Amino acid sequence: MSPAFPRSGKKQPAPERGIKVAAIGATWWGTRWIEALERISQDYQKRLARGRTYARTGRVHDLVLAPGRVQARVTGSSRTPYRIDIRLAVVDDAGWQAAIASMSERAAFAAALLAGEMPQAIDQAFAAGRALFPASGDDLSTDCSCPDWANPCKHVAATHYVLGEALDRDPFLLFELRGRTREQVLAALRALRGARGGEETGAPRALSLADRAAADYDRPAAPLPRLRFHDSPPAAALAALPPPPGWSHASSPLDLFGPRLAAAAERARAIAGGTSTAQDDDSAQR
């Protein structure tokens, strides 16, 4: 039989510097992190529920993240805050090189990462055994100074939920926990993308004008594509729309605005076709 859960005394008030979690798992990657905790903690659902309460009421504080490690303090019933230590395996150099090479080969991955987002299939870039998100209890080593024997205890769970919200705000913390900073990953990604014959790298390119004559500066380097225009009568689009909510005028919107839309459309065609005259411009400004 498992030992009895230690009874808690009266809780200390939450510290002012506590981190209050407003939304847990607001992004897919934050949700994925929380799901990893809940999947490997199925035997301790009550601890998870208490941990969510602790996270929402600001009992987690002094959160520190480093490669492979998360440390925090949690204020509970003890006068001294409990010390939390969560460890994750760091991906080695070979694993990171392979992962970044895989990311660089997928335009969608590179575009999302350079835009500050986490691609939803990011784990596909990591080899087996080097997944970005925890997959089993072996991926997480946790320790708490409280007397509870459960793993995770409510203090560890609270820290995990706070970390989930931190990941919502900055998905690149996942990379840092696995051993690479945002800057390191993006720099390596840009370098590989740029080495593949000038693909988009997210950084402006330097242009050389040394061999160009001054008269050619405003000329395109290559022929521009033909512009194609397609227009449809605006009145038809307006007629297909129902009157806006609260419309009380005796005339319909088409009756009131149709002639003006037609005139504006004809004016736009004249400008686009190059048939506009200075007299037309003066009339339009009146």
Q: What is the pLDDT of residues 199-254, one digit of tens each?
A: 444 444 444 555 566 666 677 666 666 666 556 666 555 565 667 777 777 777 77
Report the pLDDT value the prediction gives residue 203, as an integer from 0 to 100.
45
Given a cut of 70, whether residue 177 has pLDDT beyond it is: yes
Single pTM value for the model: 0.62
In this prediction, residues 27-52 reach a mean pLDDT of 81
Q: Give the least confident one: 10-24, 40-54, 219-233.
A: 219-233
Q: What is the pLDDT of residues 74-108, one digit of tens each?
A: 999 889 999 999 998 888 888 888 888 888 888 88
Domain ranges of the chain: 28-194, 232-239+251-280
Report the pLDDT value the prediction gives residue 205, as an integer from 0 to 100.
45
- Alpha carbon distance 204, 191 (integer Å): 13
pLDDT band at 24 (very low <50, low <70, confident <90, very high): confident
Report the pLDDT value the prediction gives residue 141, as an integer from 0 to 100.
85
Do the Cβ atoms of 193 and 108 come closer than 8 Å?
no
Report the pLDDT value the prediction gives residue 56, as an integer from 0 to 100.
92
- Alpha carbon distance 125, 190 (integer Å): 16
Q: What is the pLDDT of residues 120-161, one digit of tens each?
A: 888 888 866 567 787 776 777 889 999 988 778 999 999 999
Indicate the Cα dihedral angle 121, 124, 130, 135, nearest 10°: 50
**Stronger pLDDT, 189 or 233, i.e. the higher one:** 189
DSSP assignment string, the chain: -PPPPPPP-PPPPPPTT----S-S--SHHHHHHHHHHHHTTGGGHHHHHHHHHHHHTT-EEEEEEETTEEEEEE-SSSSSPEEEEEEEPPP-HHHHHHHHHHHHT-HHHHHHHHTT---TTGGGGSPTT--SS--SGGGEEEEESSS--SSS-HHHHHHHHHHHHHHHH-TTHHHHHTT--HHHHHHHHHHHHHTTTS---SSPPP---TTS-GGGTTS-SSPPPPP------HHHHHHTSPPPTT---SS-HHHHHHHHHHHHHHHHHHHHHT---HHHHHHHH-
In this prediction, residues 250-260 reach a mean pLDDT of 78
Q: What is the pLDDT of residues 273-282, one digit of tens each?
A: 666 655 555 5
**Stronger pLDDT, 110 or 128, i.e. the higher one:** 110
**Stronger pLDDT, 175 or 127, i.e. the higher one:** 175
**Is the backbone peptide bond immediately before 152 cis, with ω within 30 degrees of 0?**
yes
Report the pLDDT value the prediction gives residue 207, as an integer from 0 to 100.
47
